[in-house]
C-alpha cells in the first residue's frame, strides 16, 4: 500500500489561498447582514488542503434570526470532510454556552486542524477566549486577516458591543444644486428607480429607521422595504416627535416607536399599538446620545437616519453620524418644482464641502443619479 503523499504549499501560495478563502467567508457573512438579530453576521468556509488543489468542503453564514451560527452551518455541510480541514471564519468563534454549545468547541470536535479569523470578537464573553480554546486543543490559530474589511462589514455589531450605541448611517437625497425638497410640497421624487431600490436594500440591512416628525407629516412615507420577496424584512421605525401625530399617516402604528419627552402627547398612537421611548431634552432638543444608548439596550446595532433636513443637521452637529450616504440627482430643484413659489429645503451637507474626516469608501452610478458613501474617521 502506497502512503499518501503530503502536499507541500509554499508560504506565498498559502498566503494567497488564505486571503482568497477569507474573502469568500466575508462575502458569505454579507448575505444575511441586518437579518441576524442581535448576533453578528458571520461567514465560515472549510477548506481541505490535502490534495493538489484545495477544495471547499463546507460554507455557512449566520442564519436569519441569528441561529444557527455560521460555523455550525459549514460543519453540517462538510460532515466528515471537516476533519483535517482549515476553517476561515470572519469573526472569532464564540466560547460561551448559549442556546447551543460554543462554536470553538464544535470546530474542535469536528477535527479542524487550523482556524483563520478576520476579527477578534469584542464581546466580553468571547474576546480571545474562543481563540484560546482552539489553541488549547492544539489547533493552529491565526487572526487579523482582512480585519479592516471585516470590521466595516460588521460595523453595526462592533459599535453596539464596543461603544454601547448603534452605528448611525445618515442617508440624504438631494438635487444637483443641493436641495432636499421644498416646504409644503410633500415628498418630491428627487432620485430615480435605481436609487430608490438601493435605499430599500439599505433599509433591509438596517435594524431600524429613524425620521423626524416633520418629515412624517410632510412626506407621509411608508418607510418599509418594497423589494419583491423581501417585504418581510422591513426594519423597526422610530419617529422623533414631541407633539401628537395625525392618525391618517401611512405608517402602521403597531410598527412604530415614538421618541419624545412627553408620553401623553402620543396617547392615541400608543393606544393603537405604537411604542414609546422617553428621553430627556437638552436646550429644547431631544438628547440623541441618550436615545442611541437606549436603542442599543433594545438590541439595535444599525440605525438608518432618513430625514429630514433638521433631524440630519442635529445628528451631524452632535457628532453622531458614522456613515454618510449621499444621493446626488441629475436634476436641479427648478426642474422638479416652481422654485419661485416654494421655500426650498437645503441639504445640511454636500460632497463638495465635507470635513476632511469623511473618507469616501464607495461611489456608484444608479441610473442618472450618483451615490457616494463616506465613513467618518474618528482618529483623523
As annotated, the active-site residues are 71
Question: In this structure, what DSSP letter does residue 187 have?
Answer: -
Cis omega (within 30 of 0) on the bond before 275? no
Cis omega (within 30 of 0) on the bond before 63? no
Placement of cell 416627535 in the chain: 241
Strand runs labelled E in the chain: 43-48, 55-61, 86-89, 114-117, 140-143, 167-174, 179-183, 208-212, 236-240, 256-260, 275-278, 281-282, 285-286, 302-307, 323-328, 343-346, 358-366, 369-376
- In degrees and rounded to multiples of 5, residue 133 shows phi and psi of -60, -40
Give CA–CA dist 169/327, Å, rounded.
13
Q: Which is it for strands 343-346 and 358-366: parallel, antiparallel or unpaired?
A: unpaired
Greatest Cα pair distance in the chain:
91
CB 93 within 8 A of CB 60: no
Q: Which is it for strands 86-89 and 281-282: parallel, antiparallel or unpaired?
A: unpaired
Give CA–CA dist 272/251, Å, rounded.
12
Strand partners, 343: 183
85: which 3 cell numbers? Answer: 480541514
State the angle between helix axes of 103-110 and 129-136 in degrees (0 to 180), rounded to the nearest 10.
20
Q: Is the dihedral of CA 61, 62, 67, 68 positive or negative?
A: positive
CB 182 within 8 A of CB 311: no
Give CA–CA dist 219/229, Å, rounded.
25
- Which region, left, alpha or beta, applies to residue 38 given φ > 0 means left and ψ of -120 to 50 means alpha? alpha
Amino acid at each position: 500500500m502506497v502512503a499518501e503523499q503530503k502536499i507541500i504549499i509554499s508560504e506565498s501560495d498559502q498566503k494567497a489561498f488564505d486571503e482568497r478563502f477569507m474573502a469568500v467567508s466575508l462575502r458569505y457573512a454579507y448575505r444575511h447582514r441586518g437579518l441576524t438579530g442581535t448576533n453578528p453576521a458571520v461567514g465560515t468556509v472549510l477548506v481541505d488542503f490535502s490534495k493538489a488543489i484545495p477544495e471547499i468542503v463546507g460554507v455557512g453564514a449566520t442564519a436569519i434570526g441569528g441561529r444557527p451560527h455560521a460555523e455550525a452551518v459549514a460543519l453540517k455541510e462538510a460532515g466528515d470532510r471537516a476533519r483535517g480541514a482549515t476553517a476561515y471564519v470572519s469573526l472569532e468563534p464564540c466560547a460561551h454556552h448559549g442556546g447551543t454549545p460554543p462554536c470553538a468547541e464544535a470546530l474542535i470536535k469536528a477535527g479542524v486542524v487550523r482556524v483563520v479569523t478576520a476579527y477578534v470578537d469584542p464581546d466580553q464573553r468571547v474576546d480571545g477566549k474562543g481563540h484560546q480554546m482552539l489553541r488549547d486543543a492544539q489547533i493552529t490559530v491565526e487572526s487579523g486577516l482582512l480585519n479592516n474589511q471585516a470590521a466595516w462589514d460588521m460595523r453595526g455589531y462592533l459599535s453596539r458591543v464596543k461603544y454601547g450605541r448603534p452605528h448611525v448611517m445618515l442617508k440624504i437625497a438631494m438635487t444637483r444644486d443641493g436641495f432636499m425638497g421644498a416646504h409644503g410640497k410633500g415628498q418630491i421624487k428627487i432620485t430615480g428607480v435605481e436609487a430608490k431600490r438601493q435605499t430599500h436594500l439599505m433599509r433591509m440591512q438596517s435594524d431600524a429607521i429613524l425620521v423626524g416628525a416633520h418629515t412624517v407629516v410632510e412626506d407621509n412615507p411608508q418607510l418599509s422595504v418594497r423589494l419583491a420577496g423581501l417585504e418581510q424584512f422591513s426594519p423597526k421605525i422610530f419617529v422623533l416627535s414631541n407633539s401628537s401625530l395625525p392618525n391618517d399617516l401611512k405608517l402602521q402604528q403597531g410598527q412604530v416607536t415614538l421618541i419624545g419627552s412627553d408620553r401623553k402627547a402620543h396617547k392615541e398612537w400608543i393606544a393603537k399599538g405604537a411604542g414609546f421611548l422617553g428621553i430627556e431634552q437638552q436646550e429644547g432638543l431631544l438628547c440623541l446620545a441618550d436615545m442611541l444608548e437606549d436603542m442599543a439596550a433594545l438590541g439595535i446595532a444599525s440605525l438608518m437616519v432618513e430625514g429630514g433636513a433638521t433631524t440630519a443637521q442635529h445628528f451631524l452637529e452632535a457628532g453622531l453620524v458614522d456613515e454618510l450616504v449621499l444621493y446626488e440627482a441629475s436634476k436641479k430643484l427648478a426642474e422638479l418644482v416652481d422654485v419661485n413659489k416654494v421655500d426650498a429645503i437645503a441639504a445640511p451637507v454636500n460632497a463638495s464641502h465635507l470635513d476632511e474626516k469623511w473618507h469616501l469608501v464607495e461611489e456608484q452610478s444608479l441610473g442618472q443619479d450618483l451615490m457616494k458613501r463616506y465613513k467618518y474617521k474618528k482618529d483623523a
